């Protein structure tokens, strides 16, 4: 060691480190986007995209034609509802619709030019052959131009068309209805080892350093196999994180009383699943209930510092009605309670407008553990666990000594005390127990910490006792 003569400073690590809080309700949405409308731009397929605004969504995934219902593309619907209607952001979108693979053909479509243009019945057009009646095929970019994304045809000056002809078109178009539930479930490509569909959720944290909080696949979430895949995707995200998934009851049942049996028969009773019965409507269009449910959870958390301790139940639904199939859905409290008591959420209009209704995961009533069945408690356990992982990860591979144990315990206890003071939890603490840490584990570098925490349950039932009190009759004899 070199000889020193003077005054010197060294720095010690701070005993407490800042807690790192995970994103609590970040939605990861897997499904179909109108990527064919991008025209010649390569469509993002099975590529997670982080979206904060509708402008970003349209730039990445395109937009429906004016004559198309936006609900045909559940990813567009999800972005529109979350970003514009419920005012929450961001979300992660994973499109599985490949315009190059999911195609259909039109053998003969009649078109009448109006003011020099016509619109094909479909967008995402390729291999177009255009004729006037039985004449020879017209030449693209000489006789006409084509917007492949929208399917709009326009005549070109100097070409053979006058603008008043009736045309016949033969073409191939990108068909989103060709997407299958198997593609939504996804897997890992054998050649590229690239994850697809719901498996691509694993890429979200490495790409964006944001932890998924909710996983949904609108348009396919009523398919049992997809529901099982969603539940599977909610655990061990990036090997360690947990999220909550959304499924919906299919519209093939006769009525709401058959919904619980559908859940059980298809093995969809899982603490990481939230099931929704009914479809909200808006301006005459039927929307996806799982998107609304996810939006309600995001909105509740956004109003509470992004902490998911509040159930979405009894929060205002941003829709103008609810249907099941083609019929209006107006459940009374008893009917809604029947669904809730079987782990299914729904929507009711009891006082002034429609609200979300239901506090329980699909694990109920088969499971009674509060952390498995109460939606806010389950989501708090997900979030607290994810946050602890992010906070403690910086200490992995540090020397296993008393200073490390104290730093971890003190850091997390200060954080839990803060949550308690703000009433996000009723109480919490972290302990390092000798009984849970045998010498063989400590020698192997394994340290186990025990976290005790109590998030508040949703007040699903408020009971009042109303009694006639005869003592108040004495007021009849009191002087005025």
Domain presence at residue 423: no
Together in a domain, 233 and 133: no
Together in a domain, 36 and 155: no
Mean pLDDT of 294-303: 96
Q: What is the mean pLDDT of the chain?
A: 93
pLDDT score of 162 more than 70: yes
pLDDT score of 232 more than 70: yes
Which domain covers residue 267, as residue numbers?
Answer: 27-98+182-373
Together in a domain, 111 and 260: no
The residue from 311, 340, 373 where one domain ends is 373
Tell me the pLDDT band of 5, cut-offs 50, 70 and 90: confident
Mean pLDDT of 414-439: 98
pLDDT score of 144 more than 90: no
Mean pLDDT of 1-17: 76
Domain presence at residue 32: yes
Domain presence at residue 15: no
pLDDT score of 14 more than 80: no
Tell me the pLDDT band of 130, cut-offs 50, 70 and 90: confident
What pLDDT sits at residue 480? 61
CA dihedral for 363, 215, 382, 231, sign (positive or negative): positive
Give the closest residue to 192 by CA, choosing from 181, 203, 184, 182.
Answer: 203
Together in a domain, 200 and 228: yes
Domain presence at residue 472: no
Among 21-30, 86-95, 220-229, the least confident range? 21-30
CA dihedral for 178, 184, 187, 191, sign (positive or negative): positive
Among 112-116, 133-137, 155-159, the least confident range? 133-137
Mean pLDDT of 295-321: 96
Domain presence at residue 134: yes
The residue from 345, 373, 401 where one domain ends is 373
Please say whether the beta carbons of 374 and 360 come within 8 A.
yes
Together in a domain, 304 and 231: yes
Domain presence at residue 368: yes
Report the number of distinct structural domains present in the chain: 2
Residue 244 belongs to a domain with what CATH number? 3.40.50
pLDDT score of 181 more than 80: yes
Together in a domain, 270 and 330: yes
The residue from 153, 174, 195 where one domain ends is 174
Tokens of 398: 């540090």
Q: How far is it, in rounded angstroms, from Cα 416 to Cα 452?
A: 10
| Percent of the chain whose predicted confidence (pLDDT) is above 70 | 99
Q: How far is it, in rounded angstroms, from Cα 348 to Cα 397?
A: 52
Together in a domain, 71 and 112: no
Q: What is the DSSP letter of 409?
A: H
CA distances from 400 to 11, 218, 444 (A): 20, 46, 10
């Amino acid at each position: 060691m070199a000889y020193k003569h003077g005054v010197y400073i060294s720095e010690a690590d701070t005993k407490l480190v800042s807690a790192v809080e995970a994103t609590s309700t970040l939605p990861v949405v897997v499904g179909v986007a109108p990527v064919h409308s991008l025209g010649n731009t390569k469509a993002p397929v099975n590529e997670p995209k982080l979206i904060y605004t509708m402008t970003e969504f349209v730039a990445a995934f395109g937009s429906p034609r004016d004559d198309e219902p936006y609900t045909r593309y559940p990813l567009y619907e999800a972005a529109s509802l979350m970003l514009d209607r419920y005012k929450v952001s961001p979300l992660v979108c994973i499109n599985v619709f490949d315009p190059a693979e999911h195609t259909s053909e039109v053998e003969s479509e009649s078109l009448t030019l109006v003011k020099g243009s016509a619109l094909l019945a479909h967008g995402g057009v390729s291999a177009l052959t255009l004729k006037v009646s039985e004449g020879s095929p017209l030449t693209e970019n000489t006789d006409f131009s084509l917007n492949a994304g929208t399917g709009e045809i326009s005549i070109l000056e100097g070409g053979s068309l006058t603008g008043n002809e009736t045309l016949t078109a033969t073409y191939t178009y990108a068909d989103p209805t060709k997407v299958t539930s198997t593609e939504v479930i996804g897997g890992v490509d054998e050649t590229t080892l690239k994850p697809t569909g719901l498996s691509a959720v694993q890429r979200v944290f490495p790409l964006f350093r944001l932890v998924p909080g909710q996983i949904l696949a609108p348009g396919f979430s009523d398919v049992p196999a997809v529901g099982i895949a969603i539940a599977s995707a909610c655990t061990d995200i990036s090997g360690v994180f947990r999220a909550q998934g959304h499924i919906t009851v299919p519209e093939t049942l006769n009525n709401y009383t058959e919904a619980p049996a559908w859940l059980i028969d298809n093995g969809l009773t899982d603490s990481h699943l939230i099931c929704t019965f009914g479809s909200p409507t808006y301006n005459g269009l039927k929307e996806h209930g799982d998107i609304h449910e996810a939006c309600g959870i995001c909105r509740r958390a956004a109003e509470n510092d992004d902490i998911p301790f509040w159930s979405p139940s009894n929060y205002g639904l941003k829709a103008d009605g609810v249907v099941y199939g083609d019929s209006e859905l107006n459940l009374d409290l008893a009917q809604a309670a029947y669904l809730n008591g079987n782990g299914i959420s729904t929507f009711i209009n009891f006082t002034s407008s429609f609200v979300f209704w239901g506090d329980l995961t699909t694990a109920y009533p088969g499971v009674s553990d509060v952390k498995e069945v109460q939606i806010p408690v389950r989501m708090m356990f997900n979030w607290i666990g994810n946050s602890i992982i992010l906070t403690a990860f910086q200490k992995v591979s540090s020397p296993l000594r008393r200073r490390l144990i104290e730093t971890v315990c003190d850091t997390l206890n200060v954080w839990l005390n803060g949550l308690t003071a703000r009433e996000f939890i009723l109480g919490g603490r972290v302990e390092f127990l000798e009984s849970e840490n045998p010498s063989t584990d400590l020698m192997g570098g394994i340290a186990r910490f025990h976290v005790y925490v109590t998030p508040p349950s949703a007040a699903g039932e408020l009971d009042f006792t109303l009694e006639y009190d005869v003592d108040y009759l004495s007021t009849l004899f009191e002087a005025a």
